[in-house]
Amino acid sequence: MNIAFRRNLDQEFEVTSDKAALKGRVSAYKQGFILMKAQLSGSFKVPCDLCAEPFDIILDEKVELLLHEGAYSGADDKYDIVEIDSSIIDMDEILHSEIELIKNDYHRCDNCKK
C-alpha cells in the first residue's frame, strides 16, 4: 500500500504479509514529518538460535515512527525517524522492515529456554 507524503495527511492503513499485519494511522506531525502510530500483530516462523528448530513468534507490538521525506540528520527524543526516499510512503516496506528487525533478534524456542 502506497500513501502520498502530504502536509495535511491523515489516513488509516492496514497492510499484511503472510500472517503478519500492520494497522494504524499516518498523520501530519510537524513541519516535514508524518507520524505513524500502528499495531503490529500476527505471527511468523523463526529458527531457534540454539537448536535451529523453527517456531512461531507471536507479534503484538506498538509501532510509532516519524517519517521524513528525504535525508534527515537530527534526532527525536520520543520516536525513531525513518527517512522516506520519495514522496510516496510504502507501507509494505515499513511492515517488511519491522519484521526483519524482529527476525534479527536472538530467539530461543520454549525447549531451549528450559
Q: What is the pLDDT of residues 52-75, one digit of tens each?
A: 999 999 999 999 999 998 888 888
Q: Give the number of domains in the chain.
A: 1
Q: What is the pLDDT of residues 93-108, one digit of tens each?
A: 999 999 999 989 999 9
Q: Measuring CA to CA, how many Å separate 98 from each of 6, 61, 73, 93?
A: 23, 10, 21, 9
Structural domain including 97 reads 2-113
Say which residues have a Cβ less than 8 Å from residue 88's Cβ, sequence separation at least 6. 2, 3, 4, 5
- Which whole number is the average pLDDT over 83-102? 90
This prediction's pTM = 0.84
- Which whole number is the average pLDDT over 10-31? 92
Which of 87, 83, 80 has the alpha carbon at shortest distance from 72? Answer: 83
**Exposed, middle or buried by CB within 10 Å (0-12, 13-18, 19+), for 99?**
buried
